[in-house]
Structure 1
Amino acid sequence: MDVYADLLRYRELFSSLVRRDLRAKYKGSVLGLAWTLALPVALMLVYLVVFSVLWKAQATALPDYWLFLLCGLPPWAFFASSLQTSARSLVENAPLIRKVRFPRQLVPLSVVATQLVAFGVMTVIVLVLALWFRPESRDTAWLALPIAVAIVVFVAGLSLAAAALNAVFRDVEFVVAAALLPWFFLTPVLYQLQDLPGAESRPWLVDLIHWGNPLTPAIESYRTPLYAGELPGAANVIYLCVAALVALALGAYVFTSVDDRIASEA
């Protein structure tokens, strides 16, 4: 895993790239990091109105549905923004890559680290809200923090693979952008798995969405201790940890396979 060991060997360069990305992201912004909450809060309000007022969906009968929704958004927002932004990161930094010799994997991983700032802020806010509005979660809410670490590892591996592939095959970033919308609705951010239409008559469909979508165990493991005040399911946690390790290995394998072509084709 020398691909990731370079994060330590070149930690000063990595931190410089992260600072550069953060400055570029919030340059000229009055509110700065406060904007990291704008998208998830706006999404929450929109979905809350659509599902609970216009459609009166079954899922909105949950107590504190707004918090249920908010507890599912941080992992998804972090995943979607990291994957989409990192996919084009090597191409956008092509002039730097061609001029200076350095571990190129630092570029997409610095993008993930930049998005991690927003994920951390959202996680802290959700944690505080859960402790305040869901007293039953006060003993378990802290478990969301190690779960968040596993989610970061998972996202970092996938993001590195997407960035490396997009440097060689430019269609990748468009495929990622197109896949994110249906992927969102196939991930239980807005609903519980057991509330899916036909869940009783088609249990295979629930199992497919649960175990066929690696984000489902991640979000379920993250949200359960925050919202339900229960320990996350062991199967979900094991699945997430294995998926994180597989994603790391996949990212390293894909990157090393195309590393020698990145400078010439990015």
Structure 2
Amino acid sequence: MNVYADVVRYRELFGSLFRRDLRAKYKGSVLGLAWTLALPVLLMFVYLVVFSVLWKAQPTEAVDDYWLFLLCGLPPWVFFASSLQSSARSLLENANLIRKVRFPRQLVPLSVVATQVVAFGAMLAVALVLSLVVLDDTRGTAWLSIPTAAVIVLFVGGLSLAVASVNAIFRDVEFIVTALLLPWFFLTPILYRISDLPGIESHPWLADVLQWGNPMTPVVEAFRAPLFAGEAPSVAVAVYLLTETVVALVLGALVFRSVDDRIAAQA
């Protein structure tokens, strides 16, 4: 895992890339870094209004405090989607730097993911505070969302490194990712519980596919369980999340190593 060890070994360079990406993201804006908090909170509010107020679907009516149910499921998805999209082009956008200076190139997409961690942390803080204030049952478990979020960061970091590496060679990858994210969102139980879907009892195989065939389902459920249900993630969900995180990290490292020597020429 030297690919990830370089983040610690070259932590000063990684920190410089992180600060550069964060400043560039909001360069010229009046609020500056304050947008790091404002944007994810605004996005969560938009989802809340659309799906909890304007769209009164059956899953909405079946869940008490649906607005909080939604807010507790959104942060990991927003972090996942924004990290994959922003990191996909990171090696291409830093082509001049990569060609001129020899350094661990994996730091580039990983620093982009790190900038998204800031927004993820802001969304987690909002969900955590609301959970503690609104739901008495979660006051003993809500804090479990913090280590769960740390595992999610590792999972997304590995996937983002793999996507960025492949996209540096095959430019279609970023478009494929963008096209997949919208249907993937609706196939992930963020707006609903799988058990509340109409007719799902008649199609148990479909419930299994949505539950275990979608790698984002355990991510969302593990994050939401301590914040909304007042319980730790189930053993099956926790094991699934930890396993797919290890797989994502290994995949990211293997894919990066396989294309590392070609990145400078192709970028």
TM normalised by structure 1 equals 0.96
Q: Residue 129 of structure 2 corresponds to which residue in structure 1?
A: 128
Q: 1:48 to 1:110 in 2, by over 3 A?
A: closer
Three-state SS of the structure 1 residue aligned to 2:202 is: coil
The offset of 1:40, in angstroms, is 4.4
Q: Residue 244 of structure 1 corresponds to which residue in structure 2?
A: 245
Q: Residue 111 of structure 2 corresponds to which residue in structure 1?
A: 110
Q: Residue 28 of structure 2 corresponds to which residue in structure 1?
A: 28
The alignment's C-alpha RMSD in Å is 1.4
Q: 1:168 to 1:116 in 2, by over 3 A?
A: same
Q: Residue 97 of structure 2 corresponds to which residue in structure 1?
A: 96
AA aligned opposite 1:95: N
Q: Residue 14 of structure 1 corresponds to which residue in structure 2?
A: 14
Query: For 2:13 and 2:140, how far apart are their aligned partners in 1?
Result: 39
The offset of 1:228, in angstroms, is 1.1
The offset of 1:124, in angstroms, is 1.2
Check the 8 A contact 2:88/2:163 in 1, yes or no. Answer: yes
How many equivalent pairs are there?
266
The offset of 1:206, in angstroms, is 1.1
Q: 1:201 to 1:37 in 2, by over 3 A?
A: farther
Query: For 1:205 and 1:164, how far apart are their aligned partners in 2?
Result: 33
Query: For 1:26 and 1:54, how far apart are their aligned partners in 2?
Result: 31
Query: For 2:159 and 2:235, how far apart are their aligned partners in 1?
Result: 23
Q: Residue 140 of structure 1 corresponds to which residue in structure 2?
A: 141
Query: For 1:51 and 1:90, how far apart are their aligned partners in 2?
Result: 36
Check the 8 A contact 2:48/2:71 in 1, yes or no. Answer: no
Check the 8 A contact 1:40/1:73 in 2, yes or no. Answer: no
Check the 8 A contact 1:193/1:206 in 2, yes or no. Answer: yes
Q: Residue 75 of structure 1 corresponds to which residue in structure 2?
A: 76
The offset of 1:116, in angstroms, is 0.5
Q: Residue 262 of structure 1 corresponds to which residue in structure 2?
A: 263
Query: For 2:23 and 2:34, how far apart are their aligned partners in 1?
Result: 14
Three-state SS of the structure 2 residue aligned to 1:200 is: helix
Check the 8 A contact 2:40/2:119 in 1, yes or no. Answer: no
The offset of 1:60, in angstroms, is 1.5
Q: Residue 254 of structure 2 corresponds to which residue in structure 1?
A: 253
Query: For 1:4 and 1:220, how far apart are their aligned partners in 2?
Result: 27
Check the 8 A contact 1:196/1:206 in 2, yes or no. Answer: no
Check the 8 A contact 2:225/2:233 in 1, yes or no. Answer: yes
Query: For 1:198 and 1:24, how far apart are their aligned partners in 2?
Result: 48
1:88-119: CA deviations, max 9, x gaps?
10000001000000000000000000100110
Check the 8 A contact 1:40/1:70 in 2, yes or no. Answer: no
Residue segments in structure 1 that go unaligned for 5+ positions in a row: none
The offset of 1:173, in angstroms, is 0.5
AA aligned opposite 1:16: S
Query: For 2:66 and 2:219, how far apart are their aligned partners in 1?
Result: 19
Matched, 1:167 2:162: no
1:117-144: CA deviations, max 9, x gaps?
1101111111111000111100000000
Query: For 1:23 and 1:47, how far apart are their aligned partners in 2?
Result: 27
The offset of 1:48, in angstroms, is 3.9
Q: 1:20 to 1:46 in 2, by over 3 A?
A: closer
Check the 8 A contact 2:188/2:210 in 1, yes or no. Answer: yes
1:191-243: CA deviations, max 9, x gaps?
11111222111111111011011110011010011011112111111100000
Residue segments in structure 2 that go unaligned for 5+ positions in a row: none
Check the 8 A contact 1:87/1:166 in 2, yes or no. Answer: yes
The offset of 1:38, in angstroms, is 4.7
Query: For 1:178 and 1:103, how far apart are their aligned partners in 2?
Result: 30
TM normalised by structure 2 equals 0.95
Matched, 1:208 2:215: no
Moved more, 253-262 or 223-232: 223-232
